[in-house]
Structure 1
């Protein structure tokens, strides 16, 4: 069995210690990133729809970097949205972050509530594969 390594970037220790999940787990050259939401390092909701989407992608970048990866290593993305009418805005922001071709696979899912609290509008879960 491959070794599993919890990836906990600086500023996300509270997620692991208080909420009890790893921001990501690395197994071999594959990184499984937990859903990233629009909260800052103080675990506070970021205000504004676009700002929340940007923060979720910035959190994704932070987790990937802690695992030695980048957005260009992402092969699969699953996003959860409390309002599917936000998809055009989400795609506008996403297209600024996910630019490497071939583009990753993507699944978008509508969800009633995210992050265990009201106010969060998007959650981004990803799988990245490091080059051999």
Structure 2
């Protein structure tokens, strides 16, 4: 591809938009809440406990209801996740993360629609989330496919 002044201008404006996002209040709140979360030892222990039980959950999911520990692991995952989600630092971080994702989605939508109304833009963090597993069950597995 041959670089033209038009491409250079687009890249310059893209970098400027990126800097504006990085300098925004939303990004500042996100960074602050992430730092507070990283520094909170209790929150880190809750997160680690969730990561640990999640690995057991993934093992159980391979066999589904036929796994002997299915009910116990399912209850434990919900309990540990609820405990983690109820932590103030975790909750604050999730709110800041959602706000940043909303800003990025709005910008993506604006850019896409400035090109054409037919251009599809990711919404609700769809391009970045792990929730759309594509399992084909229509969300029956708990995913948001």
**TM-score, length of structure 1 as denominator length:** 0.28
From the two aligned structures, give the one with the greater strand fraction.
1
Larger RCO (CA under 8 A, 6+ residues apart): 1
TM-score for the superposition, normalised by structure 2: 0.26
Give the structure with higher Rg (CA).
Answer: 2
